[in-house]
Amino acid sequence: MIENSKCECGHNNPVGTILCEHCGKPLDDSITHKDDLVQEMRYEGKARRSQTAQTSPFDLIWNFFSSVKVAIILIIITLAAAGIGTIFPQEVFVPSSDPASYYEKHYGIWGKLYHSFGFSDMYSSWWFVLLVSMIGISLVICSLDRVIPLYKALKNQQVVKNVEFIQRQRISHSERIPGEEKEQKIDQIARELSKRFYHIRRENGALLAEKGRISRWGPYINHIGLIIFLLGLLFRYIPGWYLNESIWVREGEVKNVPETPYYVKNERFIMEFYEQEKTPESLNDEDPVVKKYQTNAVLYKKDSRTGKLKAVKKYPIIVNDPLKYNDLLLYQSGFQTGLLDQITFKVTEKKSKTELGTFTVNLNKIRRDQVYQVGNLTVRPLEYYPDFALENNRPVTRSQEPNRPAFIFEVKEKGEETGEKSWVISGTNFENLMAENQYSIDLAKLHTVNASGLMVRVDRSLHIIFIGGMIFMVGLIMGFYWHHRRVWVRYSNGTLYVGGHTNKNWFSFCNELSGMEVFRGYDLRPTKK
């Protein structure tokens, strides 16, 4: 470090300055032996906050995160961790409710280790989230540490630069020319450079030409975009900002959309296949390829005062085209076909074997007080077991799915006080049990429907995430498709000094300058001299 930061041009520089803020003269002893100033030019030789010795805890943290080296290490660790996470499928993709034994069973000892180290659910693990957060902090601090001094330096650029500064640029040339030609020469340089869209500034016979400065802001803008993106991810944790549910809706059914005032009706589920002759022969022996999954849905909103449902949107939901209503999104995500929906029974008078008629039970709307009229009989469901089984000789239901529906009906003749009980169990004949019964009830017909699996999403931070992504792209484009190029010209003691600097792509810069008439015969190659 230098003790005296006053430059020979008279400017007082902050401690840590490498190139004089005013004239550009190299100040630091450590760089006097260097071939060129490429490294030092990166932040215009300005003193950065992180490089001025300070020892408060805040400064220590600041200095740690302001290092690009730290940022790169964080990136590499994240990269490696993300890679490890793909060796075996993540838990969310595993079709098992007991992941621990699943990994061991399918992937052996490695699977067991993988699971016990937490790699099987690593993307939501605390340490992975911590890594990403640290990258976020690094983005903020790295950017602030550099962009402020850089902005100040570029804003206060001086036209007249120290001769040593010009000579030690990576592209530089000097030639002796007579004093009376110098004005004409510099005029010509200015003319030709401005033809190439350089912005020209002249002062005391010196010249500074500059273009593409926005390239320098690219990295900072893309970092801002990334920070907004990461914040968008954080905002998901605000209550009500993120919803991830799924529901099954049968055809004809109206179902509440979880955690919202909305209801959705599945009018019809449609599955289409490609015509077989359209698929190539080689595939013909395989299953037909599905062309379309579609749910014709109607979205209703419940009026909070009257409690009535009002249709707000009718939409055919297909894969890649969800139903959108305000923040709510409904996606086609699955289907079930042939679900039992209604059963038709027929009632027979046993002695005469005359059919008295039929009645239909809607399994989803079955109620105890419901009464079916069959001729002059009334039939009432006393019990309903959707998934019938016997446990200790008592009837139970194993689930609410109608896998093996069983019923106890009460059949009453008109005017009678008590009726007779009648068992109907699908797949079983109970005739002997109810031998004294006058009427028998039998299955006549099964009615099936399809059901659609709908994914329910609300993601209010999506716009923020999207805006972050766009800002990131703008920053990248500015940074990579523009180049900050500068040319300094100065005449001193009979010699014309020309120096050039670009933040990247030296050969393109050299090609541009070498193609100019005024620089003919100059050696402007960016080789290390």
Partner 1 sequence: MEQLMENLLFCTFFLYLIASLAFVMGISKDKNHNNEQKKKRWGNIGIGLTIVGVVFQTLFIVTRMMIGGHFPTSNMFEFIAFLCYAIAIAFIVIYFIYQTVVLGAFVMPLAVILLAYASVFPKDIQPLIPALQSYWLPIHVSTAALGQGAFAVGFIAGLVYLIKSAGNQKEGKNAFWLEVTLVVVLMFLGFSLFHLAFGMVDYEAKFSHFVDGEANVQEYSLPPIVSPANSQVIQLDSFPGLDEPLFEAPVWMKGKEAASKLNSVIWSVIAGLILYGVLRLMLHKPLRMALYPLVKGLDMDLVDEISYRSIAIGFPIFTLGALIFAMIWAHEAWGRFWGWDPKEVWALITWLFYSAYLHLRLSRGWHGLKSSWLAVGGFIIIMINLIAINLVITGLHSYA
Q: How far apart are CB 364 and partner 1 at their closest, in Å? A: 27
Q: How far is the CB of 100 from partner 1 (least distance, A)?
A: 16
Do residues 387 and 401 lie in contact, with contact meaning Cβ atoms separated by under 8 Å? Answer: yes
Calpha distance 164→280 (Å, rounded): 73
How far is it, in rounded angstroms, from Cα 93 to Cα 79?
21
Asked whether position 293 contacts partner 1 by CB under 8 A, the answer is: yes
> Is 356 or 476 the residue whose CB approaches partner 1 more closely?
476
Nearer to partner 1 by Cβ, of 117 and 274: the residue is: 274
Binders in 113-172 for partner 1, by CB under 8 A: 123
**Which residue, 293 or 359, has its beta carbon nearer to partner 1?**
293
Residue type, 105: K
Q: Which stretch binds partner 1 (CB under 8 A): 196-204, 307-315, 443-451, 454-462?
A: 454-462
Structure tokens at 169: 């640029």
Residue 245 vs 431, nearer CB to partner 1:
245
Least Å from the CB of residue 210 to partner 1 = 20
Q: How far apart are the first and last CA of the chain?
A: 27
Neighbours of 279 (CB within 10 A): 14
Among 465, 489, 513, 516, binds partner 1 (CB under 8 A): 465
CB-nearer residue toward partner 1: 23 or 465: 465
- Distance CA(453)–CA(415), nearest Å, equals 47
Q: What is the DSSP letter of 401?
A: S
Going by C-alpha positions, the residue among 513, 478, 503, 479 that lies closest to residue 41 is: 503
With CA atoms as reference, report the closest residue to 84 among 122, 48, 56: 122
x/- site string to partner 1, residues 324 to 343, per CB under 8 A?
A: -----x-x-x----------
**Residue 92 is a binding residue for partner 1 (CB under 8 A):** yes
User: Is 97 one of the binding residues for partner 1 (CB under 8 A)?
Assistant: no
Stretch that binds partner 1, among 9-17, 194-202, 385-393, 462-470 (CB under 8 A): 462-470
**Three-state DSSP string of 14-65:** CCCCCECCCCCCECCHHHCCCCCCCCHHHHCCCCCHHHCCCCCHHHHHHHHH
| CB closer to partner 1 out of 157 and 505 | 505
In DSSP terms, which residues pair with 295 in a beta bridge?
269, 317
Phi, psi of 344 (to 5 degrees): -100, 130
Binding mask 304-323 for partner 1 (x = CB under 8 A): --------------xxxxx-
Chain positions contacting partner 1, by CB under 8 A:
39, 42, 68-69, 71-72, 75-76, 78-79, 82-83, 85-86, 88-90, 92-93, 106-108, 111, 123, 244, 274, 278-280, 282-283, 289-293, 318-322, 329, 331, 333, 455, 457, 462, 465-466, 469, 472-473, 476-477, 480-481, 504-508, 526-528
